[in-house]
Structure 1
């Protein structure tokens, strides 16, 4: 795995600062500690940091075609590079390395932009075609690998794997986007293509950007989407067999490496399935035991370690478990630095630690990410379908008239089980399906955000609402089935901007490559077409996968309640983190930002501290936002000097 960066000057003949590009490149050294390379020619500079995985001796970048008229910098893995290389060689292309990187330049020569359709893997790359004076940026189908970019006032384009590299450029606009702040406190992350900065963007998953020198400023174009095209009818048993066969192939493709390889084993269904397939494949090929690792918590409500041990013993893996130290709060500032913009998934903390643990023995680790989105594993899908069945009884106008007033009048029962929270149910039924799903997934719901934000900041938002993100994706959805639609929404938002972002930054901080078999695009396409009732049957999510895995994993693992990878924040904020969170929330940074109602910040702290309500998600979101502002303040003098 690697890092890329580059500058395309707004003036064709203008030089690119070698010092600046080197600084942008080196700030990403954690992603690629093995080698680095820069390429300059009039009007453009490209940078690369390499983590060597395949063709250790010959895969150095930037990498060129035969006559060096085309150059690429690339982050990722193309798992089908060997058959592609053979096909391209048969068409007359000459290869100088055995790396997957070189396939990209020859595929561009042969197929142009449509080369993307031939790649099976995870990638973000920048390719410069000198004869055509064209820069081509592309990101993989599911957004496993990141790519950020910004147009500067002088017409230059800058891009990089991580936002921190763009932050090195003195001309980067650093104005915070009000819409991004609203989205952050609604989702816990900032959905693509937006970043925290106005005018700075993420290239969205499955999108490409083609920039022609001297041409108009282009917009990104989508080159792939999740089809949700219904598959041919098949019985459940046959579908289960095919699911495992396809998963086994996806795992096999991801075992290609010239460095030590292992897997994360949380004790959940998805990671256990991946480890089971790995062990079977490697055992059949005479390989050694699979290296696995997991994180344990002292709190049994959050601890899945014993289930991971069951799988490790069954498949004879070389397993290691590390207990999360509840006093590792020094990592809070580390997390803020990793993600570059506000990011509020607290499971980033154990993810960072499990990546550090894995890196002690391996350079590549397989994970089980993507199973919940593809096969309907989240509880919220059941809640949404329950609400949809009730919505179907009355038209939207009647529901708004009936349930809207009830939702406002009914007292909140925050500590009650969800099915007893009539206020939340009434509010949900007064909404359309997409707005109702937003209400389910919001980290801070409309009521909390309305109380959290200051009236001055509400005026700056000018009516903008974070649910517009989901409505935009819903308008483009290839499916309107109630379950498939919300799966699609999650894969466009939560999967790419929370789960994959979390794993990418945490793993790359330790120069660890993570591969995700359940996000193999051919497998994803096939799973999207499965009948929804094979995914969510009754109250059981991932029904097909669990049924198919019964010969491979213990029943108490497959059918136990889902725990996730959460951390016990509520207790931490009433105990060892109490003073830190209070100092952060009531300190000068949040007050000076003008975004927040200080009285409501006091309410959040006092109510949570007294145990009257669990506000841990809101407190963590604010804590991480304050940590981001602190980093912005610390960087301000250097920006002013550079300017």
Structure 2
């Protein structure tokens, strides 16, 4: 895995500042500590940090074609590069290395922009073609690898794997986007294509951007792939389970090619356990597995990981983490650059740290919940949809909207007794209902959170528009498939994959995700929703497929995930720090928040009257972002 960055003169061929490009590149040293490279020519500068995985003695970047008219800087892995190499050699291309990087320059020569259709893997890259006077940026289909870009006032386009590379450029705009702030406090991250800064964008997953010198304004990114949700042609559960096993095994197999130590994360959940089971059947040597445990039994699931490790005789290591391990708080804003409110980033950082002690590449189980409907919120959404279905939206809004306004609020009560919340849910359409279910801070809370001046700057914008935009283009109308699609467009790249990429790259660890193999995703998306969520059992077909490989206790238990005791921290060891930062000068001076309401949140939480930990954690992470971005 690597880090890429570059500067491109959109108007002319003026010299690129080498020292500036090198400074941008060095901000990503952690992504590639093995080597660094820079290529400069009039109007173009490309840079690269390398973490060597394949062809350790070759493959240095930026890398050129035979006559050095095409050059690439690339982050990722293309797993079908041997097949593509053979095809391109047959077409007359000459290779000087044995790495996947060189496939990109020759594929560009042979197929142009359509080259991305041929790649199977995770990637973000930039190709410069001198003959065509064209810069080509691309990002993999699911958004496993990141890519930021910005067109500057001086006519330069800058790009990089992480936002910090762009922030090293003095011309990068640093004006916060109010819409991105609204999105952050709704989702806990800033969804693509926005970044927290106006004028800085993330290239969306499955998109490319072609830039020709002198074209004027940047064109819009072009989508080259989407999740199809077409019919996979498999209706029988037994046949589906058998084919899923074969497809998963093959997706794991192609990701086990490396010239450095390779292993896997093992949480003891279904997804990571399935990946390890497949790896064990494909490897003559014991699989190296890593997990973390917690001293507090309420948070610890390491015994389930040990069950799988013992069954497959893996070389297993567990690092025990104190539930009060909040020493990383100051590092998080530096890792993620933008505000990022997923508190499980803390244990994710630790498991990556632990894994890097024995491997350079780790396979993970990420993507299984989105692919195969594993989240409990999918069940809740379908239950609400069944209640909404009998009545038209207009009638539901009139009846249940009125009842919700008059019924007393009871967030403190058990879910079955929160009638107001039920009435509100019934008054919404499907997308709005799902949005409220995934929002870390509901609409009414965000309305109180922001100052009147900031609310005016939003000009009526609401973060629900992010989901509406994707829903309008969704290739499916089935209520389960639709919310899976929404998650795979937002939560998966914006939260899950971002969290893992930054946490792993902080330790120069490459993470590969077989459950997000695009061929596997295409196939699973077309399975009947009943094979994914059957009754209350999510990931039904995966669990049936893994019954010969994993204990029933692993397959059919309720998984907790990486829980972090934030609510307790804010009433205990982090109480004063949280109060000082949430009510401190950076938050107040931003002009974004209603400080009286923030004080109410802090007082109610610390007294034990209410649990406002999601809002307070989000504010704490936002304050950390302000501290770094204004330094």
Question: Which deviates more, 542-551 or 502-511?
Answer: 542-551
SS in 2 for 1:240: helix
Deviations 1:199-223 (A, max 9, x none): 0000000000000111232110101
Map of 2:556 onto structure 1: 559
Deviations 1:426-453 (A, max 9, x none): 1111111000000100000001101111
- TM-score, L = length of structure 2: 0.99
Q: CA deviation at 1:411?
A: 2.3
Are the aligned partners of 1:270 and 1:371 in contact in 2 as well (CA < 8 Å)?
yes
Pick closer, same or farther for the CA change 1:302–1:420 going to 2, 3 Å: farther
Question: Which deviates more, 125-134 or 608-617?
Answer: 608-617
Map of 1:15 onto structure 2: 15
Map of 2:186 onto structure 1: 186
Map of 2:232 onto structure 1: 231
Are the aligned partners of 1:260 and 1:361 in contact in 2 as well (CA < 8 Å)?
yes
Q: Distance in 2 between matches of 1:327 and 1:305?
A: 17
Map of 1:382 onto structure 2: 379
Are the aligned partners of 2:11 and 2:213 in contact in 1 as well (CA < 8 Å)?
no
Map of 1:59 onto structure 2: 59
Deviations 1:233-288 (A, max 9, x none): 43100100100110000000000000000100111110111011111111xxx2x2
Q: Distance in 1 between matches of 2:128 and 2:594?
A: 49
| 1:289 and 2:286 correspond | yes
Are the aligned partners of 1:146 and 1:162 in contact in 2 as well (CA < 8 Å)?
yes
Are the aligned partners of 2:189 and 2:494 in contact in 1 as well (CA < 8 Å)?
yes
Deviations 1:338-397 (A, max 9, x none): 000100000000000100000000000000000000000001001110111111111000
Map of 2:542 onto structure 1: 545
| 1:148 and 2:145 correspond | no
SS in 2 for 1:574: coil
Map of 2:303 onto structure 1: 306
SS in 2 for 1:6: strand
State how 1:27-426 maps to structure 2 within 5 Å.
27-216=27-216, 217-282=218-283, 286=284, 288-426=285-423
State how 1:590-605 maps to structure 2 within 5 Å.
590-605=587-602
Q: CA deviation at 1:295?
A: 1.4
Q: CA deviation at 1:333?
A: 1.2
SS in 2 for 1:490: helix
Segments of structure 2 that go 5 or more residues without pairing to the other structure are: none
| 1:455 and 2:452 correspond | yes
Q: CA deviation at 1:10?
A: 3.3
Q: CA deviation at 1:12?
A: 1.9
Q: Distance in 2 between matches of 1:564 and 1:260?
A: 27
The equivalent position to 2:619 in structure 1, one of 614, 619, 622, is 622
Q: Distance in 1 between matches of 2:236 and 2:414?
A: 36
Q: Distance in 2 between matches of 1:49 and 1:410?
A: 58
Q: Distance in 2 between matches of 1:414 and 1:295?
A: 33
Q: Distance in 1 between matches of 2:13 and 2:35?
A: 29
Q: Distance in 2 between matches of 1:151 and 1:622?
A: 30
Q: CA deviation at 1:71?
A: 0.1
SS in 1 for 2:128: strand
Q: CA deviation at 1:605?
A: 1.2
Are the aligned partners of 1:70 and 1:129 in contact in 2 as well (CA < 8 Å)?
yes
Q: CA deviation at 1:566?
A: 2.1
Map of 1:632 onto structure 2: 629
Q: Distance in 2 between matches of 1:513 and 1:365?
A: 6
Deviations 1:534-578 (A, max 9, x none): 000001100111111111111111111121222111111111111
- TM-score, L = length of structure 1: 0.97
Are the aligned partners of 2:14 and 2:43 in contact in 1 as well (CA < 8 Å)?
yes
Deviations 1:468-489 (A, max 9, x none): 0000000010001000000000
The equivalent position to 1:435 in structure 2, one of 429, 432, 437, is 432
The equivalent position to 1:587 in structure 2, one of 584, 587, 591, is 584
Pick closer, same or farther for the CA change 1:233–1:353 going to 2, 3 Å: closer
Q: CA deviation at 1:413?
A: 2.4
Question: Which deviates more, 543-552 or 356-365?
Answer: 543-552
Are the aligned partners of 2:235 and 2:527 in contact in 1 as well (CA < 8 Å)?
no
Map of 1:640 onto structure 2: none
Are the aligned partners of 1:457 and 1:595 in contact in 2 as well (CA < 8 Å)?
yes
SS in 2 for 1:478: coil
Paired residues, what number?
A: 630
SS in 1 for 2:537: coil
Pick closer, same or farther for the CA change 1:315–1:416 going to 2, 3 Å: farther
Are the aligned partners of 1:55 and 1:258 in contact in 2 as well (CA < 8 Å)?
yes
Q: Distance in 2 between matches of 1:421 and 1:316?
A: 48
Are the aligned partners of 1:264 and 1:292 in contact in 2 as well (CA < 8 Å)?
yes
Deviations 1:56-96 (A, max 9, x none): 00110000000000000000000000011011111111000
